[in-house]
């Protein structure tokens, strides 16, 4: 498989995000702060999702599955993981408390960014599943993986930049 090294490198980068999230969560300060807990869960969840999504095509290809079938199976797995994370996060009380604590403008910005990610990743993966652009399937899949990796980096940056801010009520 042509993109194996690139996908494994992305999995390694996402693993670093998971490690940073775990490190931040164990340091003690703010462990009960809804902001910190919610963002750590997001970074770790997205990081783990990228690790699995990046490794899946490499593993599947070892079974002599290639072409559209490889990207179809990988995309279906990624869609299930992605939507499962969205549904689990949406039912998380810390997530609701975090949104309630944000000012309206910040809440709207967060929801727009999240919706953009949700729609973008879903559309890209659905294009792969439908097989509409067979020559672009590896690139489309890589794009979907990279979108979530960038969002995890953005969430980690927000978490780090928020240190020292006033505590939420």
pLDDT tens per residue, range 122-138: 999 999 999 999 999 99
pLDDT computed for residue 102 by the predictor: 62
- Per the prediction, the chain carries an average pLDDT of 81
**Residue 93 in tokens:** 């009380």
Q: How many residues comprise the chain?
A: 169
- Would you place residue 36 in the very low, low, confident or very high pLDDT band (cuts 50, 70, 90)? confident
In angstroms, the CA 16 to CA 59 distance is 21
Gap between the Cα atoms of 147 and 139, Å rounded = 12
pTM over 0.75: yes
pLDDT > 90: what percent of the chain?
37
H or E segment and range at residue 164:
none
H runs (alpha helix) in 62-136: 67-90, 93-101, 104-130
Give the number of other CB atoms < 10 A from CB of residue 124. Answer: 21
């Amino acid at each position: 498989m042509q993109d194996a090294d690139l996908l494994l490198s992305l999995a390694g980068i996402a693993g670093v995000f998971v490690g940073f999230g775990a490190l931040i969560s164990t340091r003690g300060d703010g462990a009960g702060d809804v902001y910190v807990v919610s963002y750590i869960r997001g970074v770790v969840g997205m990081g783990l999702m990228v690790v699995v999504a990046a490794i899946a095509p490499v593993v599947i290809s070892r079974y002599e599955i290639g072409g559209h079938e490889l990207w179809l199976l990988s995309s279906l797995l990624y869609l299930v993981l992605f939507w499962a994370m969205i549904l689990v996060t949406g039912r998380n009380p810390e997530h609701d408390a975090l949104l309630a604590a944000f000012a309206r403008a910040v809440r709207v910005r967060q929801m727009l960014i999240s919706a953009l990610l949700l729609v973008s990743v879903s559309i890209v993966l659905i294009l792969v599943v439908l097989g509409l652009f067979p020559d672009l399937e590896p690139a489309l899949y890589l794009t979907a993986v990279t979108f979530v990796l960038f969002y995890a980096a953005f969430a980690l940056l927000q978490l780090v930049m928020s240190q020292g801010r006033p505590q939420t009520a």
